[in-house]
Amino acid sequence: MLGGITIETGAQAAQFTAAMRASPKHWTGRGISGAPIRAGESLNLEPCIPPNWPYRTDEQPCPRVELWPENDLAFDLVLAALPEHTRPLVALYADGVLEDLGNDERRATLARVVRALQSQQVGNWMRAQAMPKETAE
């Protein structure tokens, strides 16, 4: 997704492992055949992904898109804003990475960040992160 994804949780790793095993031909670039995906692993998938991929939807069957170069900076800022532990640093980070841009380009970049952070996909992800984990009995 957006050029790649880092698996963050064990549950997410299990989803991706199931998807990989259901359609192994789409995962050959991973370099290891059939090994379970683990939290912390980074994946770069083919542009169109298999139908059983966890984030595929009917509205967007190929959610991975190549970013235009002008979206690179916005993407970095979104990634910094998502995890709770880096969120307090976003304003300082944004000041540093945006300082060389002109006013129009800075505004356009920040508008991309805001649109991404207010998107339904990001909202769904953030709600899922905030849900209490079920405990095993």
Question: Where do the structural domains in the chain lie, given as residue ranges?
Answer: 1-66, 69-130
Tell me which residues of the chain have a pLDDT lower than 50.
Answer: 1-2, 63-66, 136
Predicted structure pTM score: 0.47
Instruction: Name residue 42's beta-bridge partners.
Output: 6
Which residues does 43 contact at the CB level (< 8 Å), separation at least 6? 4, 5, 6, 7, 16, 30, 37
pLDDT at 26: 58
Element (H, E) at 109: helix 103-117
pLDDT at 1: 40
Q: Are 61 and 47 in contact (CB under 8 A)?
A: no
